[in-house]
Amino acid sequence: MATYHELMVELRSLQGQAEEARLAEKAEVLEKIRALIIEHRLLPEDLGLVPAGKRRAGPAVDGGAAKRRPGNVPQ
């Protein structure tokens, strides 16, 4: 049977491994999310990331297409 000290050392090691795995998985998940956002041309409003008071009342004159075009530069 392991001693308390041995178990605590093992626990710290496992916690470190778990954190490394979490960060690696997080990076993969963020990469997938970013790719899907770009692919589907999603805006913060589409994801509910804009505070309720900040949402637009209706679509822009062009229906928001100018904002959704990749590489669009405001003039």
pTM value > 0.75: no
- Whether residue 70 is contained in a domain is answered as no
Find the domain containing 34 and state its range.
1-47
Is pLDDT of 65 > 90?
no
- Whether residue 69 is contained in a domain is answered as no
Q: What is the tens place of the pLDDT at every residue in 43-59?
A: 999 999 887 666 666 55
Is pLDDT of 68 > 90?
no
Please tell me the total count of domains within the chain.
1
pLDDT confidence band for 4 (50 / 70 / 90): very high
- Whether residue 59 is contained in a domain is answered as no
- Whether residue 35 is contained in a domain is answered as yes
Tell how far CA 55 is from the center of its chain.
Answer: 21
